[in-house]
Amino acid sequence: MTAEQLTNISCFACQKDTGISLESKISRTEECPLCYASLRCCRMCKFYDQSAYNECHETQAARILEKEKSNFCDFFILNGVGETPCEAKDKSMSAANALFKK
């Protein structure tokens, strides 16, 4: 895998590199150039998890039934970009615990 492939988005449907950078802003109508699957959908979100309640780790997000279609979720974070608030909190707690460890 090249460095360029690591910074590009891979489609959830075809599992191929889309050529779109992770730093790009994904619009609601953005599609995979290879298979035309929606890229701004639950399946591409950092909060998506099949084992979680409503398949989403974001507790304030509205329930979305069609996880592979584009939607208007305000909590969408492209998988592979940045930290979720929960991850940031866990990281901060780990750092504090390490600092005050006896």
CA atoms within 13 A on the CB side of 95: 6
β pairing state of 17-21 and 8-10:
antiparallel
Average pLDDT over residues 51-78: 93
Residue 25, SS3 per DSSP: coil
Hey, what amino acid is at 61?
A: A
Tokens of 52: 């979680």
Q: Is the pLDDT of residue 25 over 60?
A: yes
Q: What is the DSSP letter of 81?
A: S
pLDDT given at position 40: 95
**Which region among 72-76, 82-86, 97-101 has the lowest average model confidence (pLDDT)?**
82-86
Kindly list the domain boundaries of the chain, sorted by start residue: 1-102
